[in-house]
Amino acid sequence: MNKKILVFIVLLIFLANFSFSKSNRVKIKRAKEKIYIDGNLTERDWKEVTPVGKFFVFPTHNFEKKDRTEAKMLWDDENIYIAFKSYDKHIEATRTQRLTDVYNDDCVEFFVSPFKNKTKVYINIEINALGSYNSGIHLLKPNPMLKTLFGVKNPEKTSTYWFPPGLQIGRYHVGTMNKNDDEDSYWIIEISVPFSLFKYAGYNKKKPEIGDVWRFNLYRLGGTIDSFRRNLFFLPPKKSNHATEYFGYLIFDK
């Protein structure tokens, strides 16, 4: 093989790997003012912060082209905040109870581990367009503290459904939900997740420090008409949203 061609191929491989390493990292800014969890996203911080990135259409490397998903993230001394704005011509959601199959409605999901190198310890929060949620906590060994909480289904197990203490959800939509003979515009889910709940996952700090690295992924699922899966970080075929080895890196910035 020609030496120049070989050098060119090596350079391409290097650039591809460099691009990949950059693309699976997200820096989130500190909020400067109080964030009100109402689904309106009128605070200056939400208006100024840029979206975390484009979503892939599962299981491809293709970015979504229609009904796109816009996600933003912030943090302060007490909480991490996520805001999803999902453009959607047919908004569908019927589940109104917690800890039900909200993932069969139009739904957004936040999966997060407070540990850079221990992603098997994580929390998932799944919320439909009505604001109903399903959540689980996943550990390496059972945590006796879970027995003190209300709503934990199986506290003696390493993975269980639970009501995350302090979780706040705001929602808003423009359109006629569950009426499929017209076209809707979008729906918003705004989430506040307190750092205090991560102690149940073995996280010993009251809050992250600037430069700390967590792991996470964001997802969006469609209803029955526009059924699809989308993810912020790439997932290969046959992998579920619980494939923590594909989580990206969440970096707390100033």
Q: What is the pLDDT of residues 95-154, one digit of tens each?
A: 999 999 999 999 999 999 999 999 999 999 999 999 999 999 999 999 999 999 999 999
Q: Report the C-alpha gap between 140 and 7 in whole angstroms.
A: 45
- Taking alpha carbons only, the member of 150, 158, 68 closest to residue 120 is 158
Enter the pTM of the model.
Answer: 0.89
Residue with tokens 């800890």: 99
- The pLDDT value recorded for residue 225 is 80
Mean pLDDT of the chain: 91
Mean pLDDT of 248-253: 98
**Where does 24-131 have alpha helices with state H?**
44-48
Q: What is the pLDDT of residue 31?
A: 98
Q: Which amino acid is at 38?
A: D
pLDDT at 15 > cutoff 50: no
CATH number at residue 134: 2.60.40.1190
> Does 22 have pLDDT greater than 70?
no
| Cβ atoms 105, 130 nearer than 8 A | yes
What is the domain count for the chain? 1
Domain span including residue 145: 3-252
Task: Please tell me the least confidently modeled range out of 96-105, 150-159, 225-234, 240-249.
Answer: 225-234
Q: How far apart are CA 140 and CA 158, in angstroms?
A: 6
Tell me the C-alpha distance between 202 and 115, whole Å.
Answer: 9
Confidence label for 1 from pLDDT (cuts 50, 70 and 90): low
How would residue 33 be classed by pLDDT, with cut points 50, 70 and 90?
very high
Confidence of residue 77 (pLDDT cuts 50, 70, 90): very high
Which residue from 43, 90, 50 is spatially nearest to 70, judged by alpha carbons? 50
CB-CB neighbours of 129 under 10 Å: 30
In this prediction, residues 237-253 reach a mean pLDDT of: 96
Q: Please give the sequence-ordered ranges of beta strands (E in DSSP) within 12-131, or none if there are none.
A: 25-30, 56-57, 69-75, 79-87, 107-113, 122-128
